[in-house]
Amino acid sequence: MGNLGFSELLVILAVALLVVGPKRLPQLAQALGEAVRAFRDALKGDESSDPGQHHDDQPGG
């Protein structure tokens, strides 16, 4: 479970197109992508957002 084939993705896209409409579908896809990116960043602790906060770096010398 969790693996989507091409036919399933095509059905999901068709339903989204009918529900949302063709003009708002790109905006919806962008918002979904941003939400997934934010979720992944939250899962990994958002290490890339503040590069000055690396505490495990060895002091140079």
Tens-place pLDDT, residues 47-61: 555 555 555 555 555
Tokens of 33: 């992508």
Residue 33's pLDDT band (boundaries 50, 70, 90)? very high
Q: Quick one: tokens of 16?
A: 């989204």
DSSP string, 3-51: ---HHHHHHHHHHHHHHH-TTTHHHHHHHHHHHHHHHHHHHTT-TTS-G
Residue 31 pLDDT > 90, yes or no?
A: yes
For residue 46, pLDDT over 80 is answered with: no
pLDDT value at position 4?
82
What is the pLDDT at residue 6?
Answer: 92
What is d(CA 16, CA 22) in angstroms, rounded to the nearest whole number?
9
- Is residue 48 within 8 Å of 40, Cβ to Cβ? no
* Residue-wise pLDDT tens digits, 8-22: 989 988 998 899 888
